[in-house]
Amino acid sequence: MLLNLPSPAGIHVLRDFGGGFGTASTVKKGSRQTVFPPLHEAFAAAILEKKGYDVAVVDGQIHDLSLSTLFSAVKKFNPDVIVCRVSAPSFDSDLTVISRLKAELPEARLVGWGSLCKMTPQDVMRKSKLDLVVGEAELEFAVSEAVQQAQKIPAGERVEQSEGRYVDFLSLPLNRDLDSLPPPAYHLLDLSRYTVKKSSFIAGESSSRFVRFASVLGSHGCSFNCIYCVYPVVFGKWRGRSPTKIVDDVEGLVKKYGVEVVWFEDQAFSMDTNRALSICNQIIQRGVRVSWACETRADKLSVELLKKMKKAGCTRIQLGIETGDPELFQKLGKSACNMETVTKNIKAIQNEGILVETNFIVGLPGETWDTVRNTAAFIDRVKPDVFSVSLATPYPGTQLYELAERNGWIVTRDWNQYGLSKPVLNMPTFTSGDMEKAREYLVSEASFKRQWSQMTSDLQQGHLGKVAKDFISNAPQIPRYIHNRLKGKLKAH
């Protein structure tokens, strides 16, 4: 059984994000979270099916799937091996669920995998009830060997070594051929349960309309070397699937399962621009009607490619900008890219009517309140449709981790804090408290300006009722905005 563990209570964990370590956000009461289908598990299941195994995929992150329902589903299948990813921001919760699984199914062998297991296998094994830890972030390339090794462990028995519990680190090469993978076993997922707000992907759509949503693997890894980025560490250099296989998956999802929105699970969709053009051409030539989104680098876009992406159904592009300060930007390792290129290509995306999401990180080495204010000014200037602000997090294996370790900046090694939303660094020039304040400043600054701009536009058009309603709604935020504004102006280093 491939088991996607549930998020902890009150927290939404995106296990594929953060380089596979997982990201976390607080769940507001009554809110509906976007759950991504477990794509690694779907590929792993397809591989095991081809080898003759009886396989099930259970997704504990699907809405309304309580722990009792989850355990009932697992016990009904009665697996001899359970494979589950252990993520950083849900570390304690994951280990608690694993412990309960071990108690309720003592004969089953429990296997853990993921980026955290790859970088710290002994730590995960020591603290868990797992029988086997797979030191691998790409389950699909290790699952066969993992299951075989797990089945060799006597049921209900742990293997002991002088160092402690049994640890097996499957150090397979990273230059694997993604085209060798069979199509993912989407048939083992209830794809009707994965939905997304259509307005999140298509400008002008109703925020109350939810449509079927799925992920497609386009590529893995990254050939660049940004100091904070874990993708090259856990996935290696960029490797892409062939356009034909990618579009086969998209077409199947649309025609067989009624999927309307697709997320390409790439760290850099347009790393190879000719390949990206080929994907778009095949979608167009096959007549596949679908809206889709991707993540890529700002310097790997052109007007020609954007026009083709738009024609093929692209409605949203996510860019990792990290900072709006030109000097700090150049220190991050984003070779061959600069703020002028970023600004120009954001404008080009907007000109095509494609939603643009920009992601920022506060607290990277060299951050000051001056660089934070420059980021605020950049956001105000380019006006992205969506933006997010994360806190700098030193994932093991990255240059940032080595730098933080060397300088004593790491304030906690509690993996539950490593979800990009909590401060785990404290630098002399920019403290953990500064990071939280800077995030609040950037969010409130952009939010208030956007709301004020909208009210000004409505006023000019004579929509007085709407202006009055919006003003009353935003009034409680005004003192907070003024406070953050003064803090941003007065705080300096």
Helix, strand, coil percentages (3-state) for the chain, rounded to 5, are: 45, 15, 40
Please, are residues 15 and 22 in contact by the beta-carbon 8 Å criterion? yes
Residue 256: per-residue pLDDT = 97
Against a cut of 0.75, is the pTM above it?
yes
pLDDT of 233: 92
Q: Which two tokens stand for residue 258?
A: 């009624």
**Amino acid 238: pLDDT:** 93
- CA 189 to centroid of chain Cα atoms: 20
Kind and range of the H or E run holding 69: helix 67-77
Q: 38: closest CA among 198, 214, 174, 192?
A: 214
User: For residue 81, what are the CA distances in angstroms to 108, 124, 160?
Assistant: 5, 18, 19
Which secondary-structure segment (H or E) carries 108?
Answer: none
CA pair distance 394, 405, nearest whole angstrom: 9
Tell me, what's the pLDDT at 457?
55
| CB distance 291 to 310 below 8 Å | no
Given this chain, do its domains 2-165 and 194-490 carry the same CATH topology?
no
Q: How is residue 450 written in tokens?
A: 């956007």
Query: From CA 122, how far away is CA 119, in angstroms rounded?
Result: 9
CATH 3.90.180.10 fits 2-165, yes or no: no
| 3 state SS of 393 | coil
Domains in the chain: boundaries: 2-165, 194-490
Residue 279 · residue 308 · CB < 8 Å: no
pLDDT at 465: 60
Element (H, E) at 319: strand 314-322
Q: d(Cα 89, Cα 114) in Å, to the nearest integer?
A: 13
**What's the average pLDDT block by block, 10 residues per block, for the chain (493 residues)?**
95 95 89 92 97 96 83 94 97 97 93 94 91 90 90 68 43 72 97 93 88 96 93 92 98 97 95 97 98 95 97 97 96 88 97 97 97 96 95 97 97 97 96 96 76 54 57 55 53 44
3-class state of residue 422 by DSSP: coil
pLDDT at site 163:
39
In Å, how far are 240, 266, 267, 485 from 219, measured between CA atoms?
A: 4, 5, 7, 41
Three-state SS for 262?
strand
Q: For residue 390, which amino acid is it?
A: S
- Is the separation of the CB atoms in 230 and 114 below 8 Å? no
Tokens in use for 151?
A: 């089945």
Which token pair is 252? Answer: 């199947």
Determine the 3-state secondary structure of 352 from DSSP. coil
Tell me how far the alpha carbon of residue 324 is from its chain's centroid.
Answer: 21
pLDDT score of 456:
58
Q: Which pLDDT score is estimated for 381?
A: 95
What pLDDT was estimated at residue 33? 87
> Is 74 in contact with 55 (CB distance < 8 Å)?
no
How far is 235 from 27, CA to CA, in rounded Å? 29
Task: Give the max Cα distance, the chain.
Answer: 78
Q: Which CATH number among 3.80.30.20, 2.60.40.420, 3.40.50.720, 1.10.150.20 corresponds to the domain 194-490?
A: 3.80.30.20
Give the span between the Cα atoms of 235 and 118, in whole angstroms. 10
